[in-house]
Structure 1
Amino acid sequence: MKTDTVKQAESAQINVITEESKQVIYKSLLSALTIIAISILVNLSIRVDYVLLGSSLGETSVTETLQLIMLAVASWSFFLLSKQKPHFAHAAILISGFFAVLMIREMDYWMDMIHHGSWVFPALAVTALACAKAYQGGKGTVNEMATILQSPYMKLLIGSVILLVVFSRLYGMGSFWQHVMNEHYVRDVKNISEEGIELLCYSLIALSAVRTHRELKR
């Protein structure tokens, strides 16, 4: 039988909020607030472009600029990881290169001023360099990638990339929106939907990249 002292100690433990519980709740609330902030940012950028600036989400719009910033943050986070943690260098450079290529693709408007389709050349160069670095690591690159993928934040990053390259592309198809609106088709409506989803995905990718870098750096 338990003594009164043991019972009192167990009762005291039940009625006390542990530091671990506080940390879990704090981190969950912080994550929720961060997602809320990102959602507000995406909405604000579109409203600023259309309501205040009267633009149509062109290449010089706030929304497009934020997309480039988010991709730059994601690419830079993994590039820093490769420098700060050499045992992740090959896989981290490969991931960094992937987001750098996406950023170059988003800058096609500016590169077309030089020559139409000229974005392909820097994109191929970055791809070649990133793949060469990954190849240098041999089979170790696979092990590095597996370690990076163990980070819980990489699940959000992968999910966001899939939403970006699959859902947003299918959702933003002009033929779909023309069928929905028929003779009332307005391209700006399609652009708002497509670019808003893209910025949301890019923002979640940047958030995941920063958190993955922070965790693996420790």
Structure 2
Amino acid sequence: MTNSPLPSEATISFKAICFRAFCYILFVAGAMQLVMLDAQSGVDRFTETSLTELMQSTLLLLGAVMMGYLHRRPSAIPHVSLLMGAFLFASYVRENDYWLDRYVFDGAWQVIVTLVVVPALFVVIRQRHAFVAEFKSISNSLGLGMFTAGFLTTYVFSRLYGRSEFWEAMLGDHYQRVIKDAAEEVTELAGYMLLFFACIELVLLLRRRARAA
């Protein structure tokens, strides 16, 4: 049995793939150079004021903005982008909990996350049939694959890899909290970069679909 060809909007030219891969490599290299500056600073390394934390917040916010852009295009994936955008913005708020607790009030981030996530879930559940149809339309896309990889890297692997018990067992008497923090924060950053790249890929996919329509 012969395989049916992919729809034209699903294909990406080899030249485009190489160019985007090159851009992503440059981005990762630049991000890791900033991580190196954090490591060399000797002061507040990998804390809330570090370059690593700033990059994490920036990537989450940019991803949420891109999902907001897709949400405002009804012909795209408004329900899927609403859920993804709410998730990314909630993660952005959680990354900045230190500042919210300090300058707004203790527990402010929980309130903001609830006000963002609950309405989004309500809309998605109410329009679940449309959500499922939109999800199926991107289920084989590079963007969704990268989003899944980013989610697993940040919210599963990073949490397990950054456990204090693991690093205390690994380093023994040489355990230093900064080593554990560096491992966890850099792994989180890797996941956030994947989420950011996923948002870019989804925007490009929907733009290709719009041109093909």
| Short-chain TM bin | 0.7 to 0.9
1:173-192 CA distances to partner (integer Å, 9 max, x unpaired)? 01110111111111111111
1:52, CA displacement in angstroms?
A: 4.1
After superposition, the Cα gap between the structure-2 partners of 1:138 and 1:157, relative to the gap in structure 1 and judged at 3 Å, is closer
Deviation at 1:207, TM superposition (A): 1.0
Alignment of 1:112-151 (within 5 A): 112-113=101-102, 114-151=104-141
207-216 vs 53-62, which moves further:
53-62
Deviations 1:34-55 (A, max 9, x none): 3322331232121112324733
User: Could you tell me which residue of structure 2 aligns to residue 104 of structure 1?
Assistant: 93
Structure 1: stretches of 5+ with no match in the other structure: 1-22
Deviation per residue, 1:47-67 (Å, 9 max, x gap):
112324733111111110110
> Partner residue of 1:157?
147
For 1:112, what is the secondary structure of its paired residue? helix
Cα distance, 1:167 vs structure 2: 0.8
Number of positions where the alignment pairs a residue of Structure 1 with one of Structure 2: 196
Question: 1:163 touches 1:201 (CA, 8 Å); kept in 2?
Answer: yes
Question: What displacement does 1:87 show?
Answer: 5.2
Please report how far the alpha carbon of residue 86 of structure 1 lies from its aligned counterpart in structure 2 after TM superposition.
4.4
The 4+ residue runs of structure 1 with deviation greater than 6 A are: none
Question: What CA distance in whole angstroms lies between the structure 2 residues aligned with 1:129 and 1:60?
Answer: 31
- In structure 2, the residue matched to 1:55 is 44
Structure 1 residue 195 corresponds to structure 2 residue 202: no
Distance 1:187 1:108 in 2: 20
2:74 to 57, 80, 85: 85
Preserved contact between residue 90 and residue 136 of structure 1 (Cα < 8 Å):
no
CA distance in 2, matches of 1:38, 1:169: 24
1:45·1:63 contact (CA, 8 Å) conserved in 2?
yes
% same residue? 25
Q: Which has the larger radius of gyration?
A: 1
Offset, 1:123: 0.5
Return 159-168 or 23-32, whichever deviates more: 23-32
Equivalent residue number for residue 15 of structure 1? none
Alpha-carbon distance in structure 1 between the residues aligned to 2:106 and 2:165: 25
